Amino acid sequence: MSDKNLAVVTPVILAGGSGTRLWPLSRKSYPKQFVPLLGEQTLFRSVVARLSGEGKGFAFARPVVLTNATFRFIVAEQLAQEDTDPRAIIIEPSVRNTAPAILAAALHLAAGDPEAVMLVAPSDHVVPDAEAFRAAVSQGLAAARSGDLVTFGIQPTRPETGYGYLQVVARPDGSGQPIKLARFVEKPNAARAQEMLASGDHLWNAGIFLFAAKDLIAAFEALAPDVLAAVRPAVDAAEGDLGFLRLSAEAWDAAPDISIDYAIMERAGNLSVVPYDSGWSDLGGWDAVWSHAGPDAAGVTVGGGATAIDCSDTLLRSDSDGMELVGIGLSNIIAVAMNDAVLIADKSRAQDVKLAVEALKKKGAVQAESFPKDHRPWGWVEGLLAGERFQVKRIVVQPGQSLSLQSHFHRSEHWIVVEGTAKVTVGDEVTLLTENQSLYVPAGAKHRVENPGKIPVVFIEVQTGTYLGEDDIVRYEDRYARG
* Same structural domain, 340 and 402: no
| 222 within some domain | yes
Specify the CATH number for the domain of residue 11. Answer: 3.90.550.10
| 294 within some domain | yes
* Same structural domain, 150 and 261: yes
* Same structural domain, 175 and 109: yes
Type of residue found at 460: I
* Same structural domain, 408 and 328: no
In whole angstroms, give the CA distance from residue 32 to residue 44: 9
| 366 within some domain | no
| 240 within some domain | yes
Structure confidence at residue 1 (pLDDT): 42
The SS3 assignment for 427 reads coil
Structure confidence at residue 3 (pLDDT): 58
* Same structural domain, 154 and 28: yes
Contact assessment for residue 128 and residue 49, using Cβ atoms and an 8 Å cutoff: no
User: 6 phi and psi, to 5 degrees?
Assistant: -65, 145
| 62 within some domain | yes
* Same structural domain, 265 and 297: no
Contact assessment for residue 99 and residue 259, using Cβ atoms and an 8 Å cutoff: yes
Residue 2 CB neighbour total at 10 angstroms: 8
Specify the CATH number for the domain of residue 401. Answer: 2.60.120.10
**Start-end of H helices in 325-466:** 353-362
- How many domains does the chain divide into? 3
DSSP codes of every residue in 23-51: TTTSBTTB-GGGS--SSSS-HHHHHHHHT
Last residue of a domain, one of 275, 303, 320: 275
| 360 within some domain | no
Closest CA to 209 of 68, 92, 99: 99
Domain residues for 126? 7-275
In percent, how much of the chain has pLDDT > 70? 99
User: Please, which residues have CB within 8 angstroms of residue 13's CB and are 6 or more apart in sequence?
Assistant: 44, 47, 48, 51, 63, 64, 65, 66, 121, 122, 123
| 362 within some domain | no
The three-point CA angle 406-409-413 to 5° equals 65
Structure confidence at residue 404 (pLDDT): 93
DSSP codes of every residue in 214-254: HHHHHHHHHH-HHHHHHHHHHHHT-EEETTEEEPPHHHHTT
For the chain, 483 residues long, give each residue's pLDDT as a single digit of tens.
Answer: 455 678 999 999 999 887 788 999 999 888 999 988 888 899 999 999 999 999 899 999 999 999 998 899 899 999 999 999 999 999 999 989 999 999 999 999 999 999 999 999 999 999 999 999 999 999 999 999 999 999 999 999 898 888 889 999 989 988 889 999 888 888 888 899 999 999 999 999 999 999 999 999 999 999 999 999 999 999 999 998 888 999 999 999 999 999 999 999 989 989 999 999 998 988 889 999 999 998 999 999 999 899 999 999 999 999 888 899 999 999 999 999 998 999 999 999 998 999 999 999 999 998 998 888 888 889 999 988 888 899 999 999 999 999 999 999 999 999 999 999 999 999 999 999 999 999 999 999 999 999 999 999 999 999 999 999 888 999 999 888 765
* Same structural domain, 39 and 184: yes
* Same structural domain, 77 and 156: yes
* Same structural domain, 268 and 305: no
pTM: 0.88
* Same structural domain, 338 and 266: no
* Same structural domain, 263 and 295: no
* Same structural domain, 228 and 171: yes
Last residue of a domain, one of 228, 254, 275: 275
